[in-house]
């Protein structure tokens, strides 16, 4: 899931030098432009000026993977999803016969993948993954750690006492992996916060129509993959509520709606399917 809880620094908060320094590492938005808002960009100020230490890219790769694992990323995520993009930076260096890290070479790597993206050879998701990988090397070279990925995670969704009780009970009901636990917590916090903002102080006063409204709103603002995850996580929360005897609307079938990860979901389609799920 996207991390929407970190402090946001805008372009105007940075000097031109800082902006030019971090701009190549920012993800590209849906219209092909980099985002104007950078989350936690004050961390990138540590990258100025650059350190002068000599580091092997191969050793950096091993250290980066180890730091990410220590930060709570699951092994299957690291070695199944992130390994390829991070390793591609090392391969680029080796193809040039270079062993030691050099910011100029990393910038050349970014320029190369940008050309591939603009020429339609790679998709936006792959392009952004390559930029994130390069950013990890740059951050590690400058600071010796990965402050961006290892920042302690907090939430912007502040819950009342009753909803906090339900969330804590849910998170204590099973042995979550540290990284997966955050994903569940974020999804359930967002879900419960929706009710709280509607003036519904507890789940026993909520209805399935309220939950359906939440899903429709999420579908209008989230990508298919993120929506798929959100429904799965909240469905598990409702299973917990039912098994533990908590008073709440039975929304298990509602959140069992299948969302193909690669297919955009339109609100009007989802509304019709949700009506079918209820009946």
Whether residue 170 is predicted with pLDDT greater than 80 in this model: the reply is yes
Helix-helix angle 224-243:208-221, to 10 degrees: 160
Residue of 192, 199, 275 whose CA lies nearest to 234: 192
Q: What is the mean pLDDT of residues 219-243?
A: 88
The secondary structure element, H or E, covering residue 36 is none
| Summary mean pLDDT of the chain | 77
The tokens describing 66, both together, are 């180890």
| pLDDT per position as a tens digit, 192-223 | 999 999 999 999 999 999 999 999 998 888 87
Give Cα 214 to chain centroid, integer Å: 20
DSSP string across 163-231: HHHHHHHHHTSS---HHHHHHHHHHHHHHHHHHHHTT--SGGG--HHHHHHHHHHHHHHS-HHHHHHHH
pLDDT at 202: 94
The tokens describing 152, both together, are 């302690």
Whether residue 236 is predicted with pLDDT greater than 80 in this model: the reply is yes
Confidence of residue 183 (pLDDT cuts 50, 70, 90): confident
Q: Please, what sign has the CA dihedral across residues 202, 203, 209, 214?
A: positive
Q: What is the mean pLDDT of residues 177-197?
A: 83
Whether residue 42 is predicted with pLDDT greater than 90 in this model: the reply is no
User: Which of 36-50, 148-162, 198-212, 252-266 is the most confident on average?
Assistant: 198-212
pLDDT at 23: 67
Least-confidence region, from 29-38, 72-81, 110-119, 180-189:
29-38
pLDDT at 195: 94
Confidence of residue 6 (pLDDT cuts 50, 70, 90): very low
β-bridge mates for residue 56, sequence order: 100
Confidence of residue 11 (pLDDT cuts 50, 70, 90): low
DSSP state of 34: B
Q: Is the pTM for the entire model greater than 0.75?
A: no
Q: What is the mean pLDDT of residues 241-270?
A: 73
């Amino acid at each position: 899931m996207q991390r929407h809880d970190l402090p946001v620094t805008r372009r105007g908060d940075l000097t031109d030098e800082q902006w030019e320094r971090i701009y190549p590492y920012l993800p590209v938005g849906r219209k092909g432009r980099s985002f104007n808002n950078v989350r936690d960009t004050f961390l990138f100020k540590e990258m100025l000026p650059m350190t002068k230490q000599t580091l092997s890219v191969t050793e950096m790769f091993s250290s980066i993977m180890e730091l990410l694992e220590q930060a709570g990323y699951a092994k299957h995520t690291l070695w199944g999803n992130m390994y390829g993009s991070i390793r591609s930076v090392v391969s680029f260096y080796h193809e040039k016969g270079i062993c030691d890290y050099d910011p100029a070479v990393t910038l050349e790597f970014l320029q190369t993948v940008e050309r591939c993206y603009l020429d339609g050879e790679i998709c936006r998701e792959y392009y952004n993954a390559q930029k994130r990988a390069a950013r990890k090397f740059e951050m590690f070279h400058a600071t010796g750690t990965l402050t961006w990925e290892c920042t302690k995670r907090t939430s912007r969704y502040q819950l009342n006492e009753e909803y906090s009780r339900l969330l804590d009970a849910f998170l204590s009901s099973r042995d979550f992996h540290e990284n997966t636990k955050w994903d569940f917590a974020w999804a359930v916090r967002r879900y419960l916060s929706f009710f709280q903002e509607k003036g519904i102080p507890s789940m026993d006063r909520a209805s399935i129509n309220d939950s359906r409204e939440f899903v429709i709103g999420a579908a209008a603002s989230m990508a298919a993959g993120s929506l798929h995850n959100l429904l799965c996580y909240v469905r598990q929360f409702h299973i917990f509520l039912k098994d533990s005897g908590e008073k709440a609307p039975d929304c298990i079938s509602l959140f069992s709606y299948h969302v193909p990860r690669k297919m955009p979901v339109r609100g009007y389609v989802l509304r019709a399917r949700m009506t079918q799920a209820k009946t």
